[in-house]
Amino acid sequence: MKSLVFVTLLITANVFSQNLIVKSNGSIVKQGKTISTEEVRTILASQPQLLEMYNSGRTKKTAGNILMIGGLGLITADLVTALNSDVQYPSAVTFIGGALFVASIPIKIGYLKKIKTSINEYNTLDKKTSFTIDKIEIINNRNGLGVAIQF
């Protein structure tokens, strides 16, 4: 009975220990610790299509951040310029900054979906390939009853 409990705990630990979790900002957590982008790429290296999807999501995140910060920077620069001189506000710079900011919104929405999809597919593949039971036998002898599991 003790060995059955031990095997059950071992199987449970093996199934749930390798999961990667995606946080809302796109960072990846493994076993309670945030791992770097390079570590995620190393983990996904065995699955090229998932690695490509993850890299695409990271590229979208970077592009969205550049557009959003650039747009806010242009709006802020135009506002500061207008406050310090007799220039009419808003000027074309504000409208360009607003357009950049609005363009960044759908890009930033899409990146998280790609990252989550690649990580969820990896977790599914990892569960399928990391643990298989080949044979289960119930053994009865003079010492008692037991279970033999071959992996």
**Scanning the structure block, which residue is given the tokens 């033999």?**
148
Instruction: Round to whole Å and give the CA distance between 54 and 108.
Output: 14
The CA distance from 78 to 92, in Å, is 9
Written as tens digits, the pLDDT of the chain (151 aa) is 666 655 565 555 555 556 888 988 888 998 889 999 999 999 999 999 999 999 999 999 999 999 999 999 999 999 999 999 988 899 999 999 999 999 999 998 889 999 999 999 998 885 655 556 778 888 888 888 888 888 7
**Where are the chain's structural domains?**
2-150
Q: Do 107 and 57 form a contact (C-beta atoms < 8 A)?
A: no
Q: What is the 3 state secondary structure string of 6-18?
A: HHHHHHHHHHHHC
